[in-house]
Amino acid sequence: MIPLKPLVLAMGCLAFGTHAFAAPKRPNIVVLVADDWGYSDVGAFGSEIATPNIDTLAREGVRFSDFHVTASCSPTRSMLLTGVDNHRNGVGNMPETMPDEHLGKPGYSGVLNDNAITVASLLRDAGYHTYITGKWHLGKTPDTLPDNRGFDRSFIQADSGSDNWEERPYAPLYDKAAWFENGQPAHLPKDYYSSTFIVDKALEYIAADRQGGKPFFAYLGFQANHVPVQAPREMIDKYRGRYDQGWSALREARRDRAVALGLIPPGAGMQTMASTADWNALDEHEKRYEARRMEVYAGMAETMDQQIGRFIAHLKATGEYDNTVFVFLSDNGSEPTDPYTIPAVRLWLEMNYTRQLERLGSKGAFTSIGPSWASAAASPLGGYKFFAGEGGLRTPLIVAGVPGIQANQISRAFTHVTDIVPTLLEVAGVPAHKGEYQGRAVEPLIGSSLVPVLQGSAERVHPEDQPIGYELSGSAALFKGDYKLVKSLKPVGNEQWHLYNIVTDPGEVIDLQQQMPERFQRMQADYAEYARVNGVLPMPVGYDYMHQGQMYALKHVVIPKLKAAAPPIVAMIGLLVGVWVWRRRRQKAATP
């Protein structure tokens, strides 16, 4: 058993015959957010990828095997920072995938609204230094940047992602890479690599304020492993040959390790995703190419872990490590989208990147892992990013450094991303607001603190009869006790409700709606109430997140550029696009 990390106490000296003791020193807080990591992408959750530094946090802390986020990045981040449902904090959907019919409606601004107070604001008010580096994706106008949402210092990427080697966008969704430092447009150094730079800036900010004696809150939003999947060549080559057996073999191996670790119950079923290709049907060149894509992915993940190790080493060298609380999580499940399968995006990629085998992962090259490897990354769960299956919503969560924590334990308690803010406030000794902030009404926190579970005084975070709803882009779920009501849009789901016991059946193999008709109906009523109270809007007929992304790119990047160059051409393109959209919606409406 690894010794518990003590709460650092400052002892007073003996004076006038009495002992005087200083108050306990408040802990630093570090939140490490991985991007698009599947459930078993961490070594401590069953991965073959080397993540020794994250694994050390797992040994010193608690792994949560049943932790849930949303199925895409900014809605999760909005709840992680505010403890408020995304439909009430303004991020009912990402701007890039939000249908025009929803934009601007209550809860659907696509950026954090003023009624949701960030944990950074609350900690700063209580005397903490507050820092954020890396991905933000919660607004890019002056009033929505981190310096206006509680952060003292910030260097952030305001969009869904960007290139990891250069200052440029990764997709035609944006005309440039939107980086900001302390609210002002900023540029990247020539030797930039995302994970390294994000840690560099965090350490720079911490060092700048170290003499002040205040504790700090540092939020590191890594771009790993968001597309484009890129990593140093030496890291990629460490995995050469590791994935030559294909995605199905990897999915099974990771499932077996997750069971052996105690994260998944023995005998739990596991589906084969319909989008998973037959590895044996590929020729040798195709196998080598596909294996290399996953080698790049593993190299990117290990590089991020190494940089986390560098960050931890600095805290140890400065004497801060033993008084630091760590939270590690992924913002959603693994990314299945291969941008080269999207016609408009492929054209842009062909003009801006290469995908030659020998250059994958390097500067100027673009790759992703696609749906087959994404299924392996989510093992042993079904589904992935953008959809409501466990593979999209259940991600690794590790909490370490909390005083009194039961180290090297696994909690099987259902846990939600909105539980993080109450947890951080409790460990910092900061009262949670009750729906009022600085004399005005605000959205109240909806989560529960994890501290009782972390310290071993409770087994559950939420009462068994508490319904917890979820919706994003038309895919939806309702959690209650050990059960989950869920529906996902096509092509992953059939847009019908299903019922699973996700404690005994995390792979969502056995639909219980016929065996438990009363529970099935009650949970549908619970979901309807959740949707009503939180203002969830129905999706337009024929909605598809990839199609919506293409329309976003046309509206915000392609057409404005063409309009500036040749207005008559734009008018013709606009007419053609309008006809295409109209025909596509008619076809969708006619499809049973």
| 23 falls within a domain | no
Question: Average pLDDT for residues 229-244, to the nearest whole number?
Answer: 98
CATH code for the domain in which residue 497 is found: 3.30.1120.10
Instruction: For the chain, give the mean pLDDT.
Output: 92
| 373 falls within a domain | yes
* Statement: residue 100 has pLDDT above 80: yes
| 10 falls within a domain | no
* Statement: residue 12 has pLDDT above 60: no
Instruction: Say whether both 369 and 224 belong to one domain.
Output: yes
Q: What is the pLDDT of residue 386?
A: 94
Of 432, 454, 476, which residue is a domain's last? 454
Catalytic residue check, 137 = yes
Question: What's the full length of the chain, in residues?
Answer: 592
Looking at 68, 102, 129, 137, which residue is catalytic?
A: 137
Instruction: Say whether both 222 and 172 belong to one domain.
Output: yes
Q: What is the pLDDT of residue 72?
A: 96
| 7 falls within a domain | no
Higher pLDDT, 362 or 576: 362
* Statement: residue 448 has pLDDT above 90: yes
Which tokens belong to 451? Answer: 């501290």
| 4 falls within a domain | no
CATH code for the domain in which residue 77 is found: 3.40.720.10
Question: Average pLDDT for residues 255-261, to the nearest whole number?
Answer: 98
CA dist 63 and 85 (Å) reads 24
Higher pLDDT, 466 or 491: 466
Domain count, the chain: 3
Q: Which amino acid is at 9?
A: L
Buried b or exposed e, range 252-262, using 16+ CB within 10 angstroms: ebbbebbbebe
CA dist 447 and 433 (Å) reads 12
Predicted confidence (pLDDT) per residue in 380-427, tens digit: 999 999 999 999 999 999 999 999 999 999 999 999 999 999 999 999
Instruction: Say whether both 142 and 255 belong to one domain.
Output: yes
Instruction: Say whether both 449 and 574 belong to one domain.
Output: no
| 269 falls within a domain | yes
Q: What is the pLDDT of residue 554?
A: 81
Instruction: Say whether both 153 and 34 belong to one domain.
Output: yes
Instruction: Say whether both 197 and 128 belong to one domain.
Output: yes
Q: What is the pLDDT of residue 42?
A: 98
Question: Average pLDDT for residues 153-175, to the nearest whole number?
Answer: 97
Question: Average pLDDT for residues 95-119, to the nearest whole number?
Answer: 95
The three-state (H, E, C) secondary structure of 134-194, written as one string: EECCCCCCHHHCHHHCCCCEEEEECCCCCCCCCCCCCCCCCCCCCEEECCEECCCCCCCCH
Looking at 68, 73, 102, 226, which residue is catalytic?
A: 73
Instruction: Say whether both 386 and 506 belong to one domain.
Output: no
| 580 falls within a domain | yes
Instruction: Say whether both 120 and 170 belong to one domain.
Output: yes
Q: What is the pLDDT of residue 23?
A: 58
* Statement: residue 589 has pLDDT above 80: no
Instruction: Say whether both 370 and 483 belong to one domain.
Output: no
Of 534, 555, 577, which residue is a domain's last? 534
Instruction: Say whether both 484 and 362 belong to one domain.
Output: no
Structural domain harbouring 143: 28-454
| 14 falls within a domain | no
Predicted confidence (pLDDT) per residue in 39-61, tens digit: 999 999 999 999 999 999 999 99
Contact in structure between 427 and 444 (CB atoms under 8 Å): no
Q: What is the pLDDT of residue 442?
A: 97
pTM above 0.85, yes or no: yes
Instruction: Say whether both 487 and 565 belong to one domain.
Output: no
CA dist 153 and 146 (Å) reads 8
Strands (E), 3-150: 11-15, 18-21, 28-34, 62-64, 67-68, 129-135
CA dist 565 and 499 (Å) reads 54
* Statement: residue 543 has pLDDT above 70: yes
Instruction: Say whether both 269 and 310 belong to one domain.
Output: yes
